[in-house]
Chain A
């Protein structure tokens, strides 16, 4: 089991480990323009495939929305 905090909510995954890329794919966001921060640090897009998540990680996934 993998327990993470994703955008402020606790989420559990049955996988024991998951890369950022696999997480994005499981959420349906593969290839979408998003940015990811893990435990306060940016995970560059080039490292999504090679960054493994650990239980207890805090992730923020953001997009651009309308604003002034």
Chain B
């Protein structure tokens, strides 16, 4: 069976989805079901004091008994804030250690701050967290994160929420070829073909949020993404034919033509 193994657990789906930007919890639930994802990211935020405590909670819609919850550090700009957020997440999720680390460098690009990311990863790994880490598509720093002990390396394909697709497949290939841990493209996928390209490159999985949540029909796009990730993975495993730049090669027999 072709499964994704992360931190000692096997997943049938190689698509990881975010839970932000949906119209409401019902749309969130339906899109995530249609995606077939088993792992979903959540953000950790201050409780809105004074809000009706009877309001449904995201973890009631997406129960941790059914989904592997991946708390993130979105919005953190320092290693310290990211570590603090994930300690709260671990408490919130009853000791659950698998987390998504992201330390941002700039609010307009949301590009990762790699020095702070490396610093946070070291602290978190020492504290027993299993760290899936959002990072730049830099093969050297990706390797540093692996050496620190991160459970998965998650380079961006293009800017978070941009939908610009796979902008530097060559760097992704370098990261994939060097890594002994799963490499998951995190950020930048815009449509199904982008997800398929990521998987054809040899990525172990794809993490996306906006491509589904901001599609015209999020539930239908979630279904498309499930298929694209599966198709891309199968194509990668099958091995594509060599590219022939300057010569055609007919698929039909060249002999036995009538009138010859």
Contact = CB atoms under 8 A, between A and B. Distances in A.
Q: Do A and B bind each other?
A: yes
Interface of A: 6-9, 27-29, 32-37, 40, 42, 44-45, 60-68
Interface in B9-32: 18-22, 28
Interface of B: 18-22, 28, 41-47, 49, 53-54, 57-59, 69, 71-72, 74, 84, 87-89, 91-93, 160-161, 207-210
A67 B59 contact: no
Contacts of B207: 68
Nearest to A6: B49
A67 B41 CA distance: 6
Given A35-B91, A67-B74, A61 B20 contact: no
Contacts, number: 100
A62 B42 contact: no
B82 to A, nearest CB: 13
Q: Would you list the 4 A-B pairs with minimal beta carbon distance, nearest first? A: A67-B43, A68-B18, A68-B209, A28-B53
Interface centre among A34, A35, A36, A64 (most CB of B within 10 A): A64
Which among A8, A34, A42, A67 has the greatest number of chain B C-beta atoms within 10 A?
A67
Contact of A35 (B49, B89, B161, B208): B89
Given A42-B87, A67-B20, A27 B49 contact: yes
B88 A35 contact: yes
B88 A64 contact: no
Given A7-B46, A8-B46, A44-B91, A64 B53 contact: no
A64 B49 CA distance: 14
